[in-house]
Amino acid sequence: MKHVAIDLGGRESQMCVRGQDGTILDEKRVFTKSLPKLLAALEASTVIVETSAEAFRVADAAKQAGHRVSVVPATLVKQLGVGARGVKTDRRDAQALSLASCRMELGSVHIPSESSRQLKSICGSREALVHTRTLLINNARGWLRTQLMRPRSGRSETFAARLREHAATHGFELPTHIERDLIVIETINAQIKAADHQLRELAGNNEVCRRLMTVPGVGAVTAVRFFAAIDQVSRFPTAHAVQSYLGLTPGERSSSERKQLTGITKAGPKAVRWTLIQAALVARRIRPNDPMVQWSHQIEQRRGRFIAVVALARKMAGILYAIWRDATTYQPSRGTTPA
């Protein structure tokens, strides 16, 4: 079986094809968009690519063509010889990956399904809108501080109206550059509202997401994010494995007789971890008598509020996994059961 390593690029990619004995059979530079056709014309081979924006689309094309595919994590490629001795070129990188494939069985990251990638993209677009709105609001607030003014507090959706109301009440006209920001903020508000509506529809039409949303504090954004990140619940043997994958478990720096636990590892998808922590905060606010929330309050008395919120987010990740795995809904009586 041949070993085909591809160093992917946005416009062009470098291919290196080796035989089973490690001999280089072919090397060429090709347009990235032509890779699906090139892979379809090759005999069944082992295809190796490094994680990148283009990697999963190329992996899909390779699988459809009947190849074995390994998407190597970017953190691993240096150990395989990529960039060795301070020399890094696309050609040398492709050669190093193909040679490593000939010598050993390379592990692969999980290749998410097309629907999972689409959901992640939808969530990412919404988060970009929210981030842009936050930047504009902070810019306007910074200008207000230079004028020693402070409008009444409220939600982000009403910021533009509140600022105009403040200007009208105190009899001054907003500068042109601030008015431009407010117009854009109002436009973004409408787009965020549309994005929220789309996510609610997606979650409502998905049986798994509907069950996930029975957990207090979990809405459409959290359910869709969790569903897209896990993708296949069967690839995780336990709830603890999911919690570890999401970076919500404590790390450890132990050596010899020294045993030291650290804060959470923060590995895995940051967006999912953030939404789970937000869901934990919401659950503590709207369902204070729920058993799992009461459990977090007990932790708060010993360790403080921040650690209690993170602990609740970790527990919620385990609960969401169990609900998905068992095809059930949230049962409050099990909210304090260890994962």
Q: What per-residue confidence (pLDDT) applies to 337?
A: 58
What is each CA distance from 73 to 27, 109, 110, 234, 315, in whole angstroms? 23, 6, 10, 21, 28
Nearest CA-CA partner of 63 in 46, 76, 51, 82: 46
Q: What are 145-199's pLDDT values in tens digits?
A: 999 999 999 999 999 999 999 999 999 999 999 999 999 999 999 999 999 999 9
What is each CA distance from 333 to 261, 300, 337, in whole angstroms? 31, 21, 8
Q: Which amino acid is at 102?
A: C
Q: What are 56-75's pLDDT values in tens digits?
A: 999 999 999 999 999 999 88
Q: What are 233-280's pLDDT values in tens digits?
A: 999 999 999 999 999 999 988 888 788 888 899 999 999 999 999 999
Q: Is the pLDDT of residue 88 over 90?
A: no
Measure the CA–CA gap between 78 and 67, rounded to whole angstroms: 24
Q: Is the pLDDT of residue 215 over 50?
A: yes
Q: What per-residue confidence (pLDDT) applies to 175?
A: 95
Q: What per-residue confidence (pLDDT) applies to 339?
A: 46
Q: What are 295-312's pLDDT values in tens digits?
A: 999 999 999 999 999 999
Segment 30-59 shows an average pLDDT of 95
Give me the percent of the chain exceeding a pLDDT of 90: 87
Whether 101 and 17 have beta carbons less than 8 Å apart is answered as: no
Segment 121-125 shows an average pLDDT of 97
CATH of 2-103, one of 3.30.420.40, 3.30.565.10, 3.75.10.10, 3.20.20.150: 3.30.420.40
With bands split at pLDDT 50, 70 and 90, how would you rate the model's confidence at 81? confident
Instruction: Record the pTM.
Output: 0.91
With bands split at pLDDT 50, 70 and 90, how would you rate the model's confidence at 78? confident
Q: What per-residue confidence (pLDDT) applies to 52?
A: 93
Q: What per-residue confidence (pLDDT) applies to 1?
A: 87
Give me the percent of the chain exceeding a pLDDT of 70: 99
Q: What per-residue confidence (pLDDT) applies to 259?
A: 84
Q: What per-residue confidence (pLDDT) applies to 154?
A: 95
